[in-house]
Every structure is written in structure tokens, then in C-alpha cells.
Amino acid sequence: MDVVQLRHPEGYRSSDDETSSNNSEELTVDDMIEIGELTAVSVTKNLKRRYNSETFYTYIGDILVAINPYKEVPELYSPRTMLKYRDQAIGEQPPHVFAIADASYRSMVEEQKNQSIIISGESGSGKSETCKHLLRYLSDLNADQKSDVERMILEASPILESFGNARTVYNNNSSRFGKLIS
């Protein structure tokens, strides 16, 4: 599974801003494969509607698109939300980074194969936050067996990031490197 982070630059206006009615009752889809004609306009409209309804995750097939809300949304990552995704197949619950984490974990355990999750996006798009939530979910799955190594990875991540970060137009603490956690 891939996680893709989308971000609009300051002052961004989509080409349909002028013509859309901004009707909150317009339909959105959890998986954009369900859109009849998948175009840049249809993808943008669906993501905009979902964002306006505070639905920040959307699938395109087996890819998760995450839109940074630029605000705290505590219930989105609460222990109760974590439980909702435990042992659920992708698509049984609304799109979420926890669904990707759970599917990868179950696949790793059942198939005895390493798994990779790619988190990609522009500066300030929320890659580090997504990684933090993903690691927290995976760590929570093994709470009974949590090793010192797992605890050290979770605790060291913010410290490691501080060495490779820089100020950008969008983010005062932007990461300058990728992470590979095995």
C-alpha cells in the first residue's frame, strides 16, 4: 500500500471553484476508482468535497490519499479509532492510515513477508505526522510484546528528525530526509 499526501499551495483555487455550487449534499466516494470518469477535475472535486466534510483520507484503488487538515483532529487518531480498524479488511471501514497499517501488519504476519509503506508528499504535507500515527498503530498492535527496540524507535523519531529539518515557506520544521524502519 502507498500513502500519498496531497497539498495545495497558499492561494490555490481549482478550476471548478467558479462553477461549483459548493453544495454539501454532493456525493463523495471513499474509493475514487468508483468515479465513472477519473480525471484531474473529478479527483479534485471529490477530494475537495471530502476535505470540506472533514474526511481527510480517500483511496484510489490500493493507494491512500491523505490531505493535511492543518489542525488537530484528536478523534481521527484516538484509541477508539484504532480499535475500529483492528483486523478489518481494507474497505470495511472508511479510508484511514490505520487501515493501511493493519493490512500491512496482517499481511506480514500471515504471509511471513516484509511489507513496505511509502509515505510521499511535498514539504509540510504531513508525512512525519502520518508516519508517527502509523508507528503508533503498529506499536499498539503489539502492546503486550513491545520490545525495548520498538520503544526506542518511537521515542527517537522526533530527536532524529530535529537533525535533518529546515524552515520552509509551508513548515517551520520540515524534514530533509526519508525514513526506512524495518
pLDDT tens for 70-112 read: 888 989 999 999 999 999 999 999 999 999 999 999 999 899 9
* Alpha carbons 107 and 103: distance in angstroms, whole number: 6
What spatial distance separates the first Cα and last Cα of the chain, rounded to whole Å? Answer: 16
User: Residue 74 CB: number of other CB atoms within 10 A?
Assistant: 7
> What integer pLDDT is reported at residue 120 of this predicted model?
87
* Alpha carbons 53 and 76: distance in angstroms, whole number: 13
Q: How confident is the model at residue 11 (pLDDT cuts 50, 70, 90)?
A: very low
> What integer pLDDT is reported at residue 160 of this predicted model?
57
* Alpha carbons 33 and 35: distance in angstroms, whole number: 5
Residues 121-154: pLDDT tens digits?
887 788 888 888 998 898 888 766 656 656 666 6
Whether 57 and 31 have beta carbons less than 8 Å apart is answered as no
The pTM of the full predicted model, rounded to 2 decimals, is 0.74
Higher pLDDT, 72 or 156: 72
Please say if the pLDDT value at position 25 is more than 50.
no
Please say if the pLDDT value at position 174 is more than 80.
no
Please say if the pLDDT value at position 26 is more than 70.
no
Higher pLDDT, 47 or 128: 47
> What integer pLDDT is reported at residue 3 of this predicted model?
56
Residues 28-44: pLDDT tens digits?
899 999 988 889 999 99
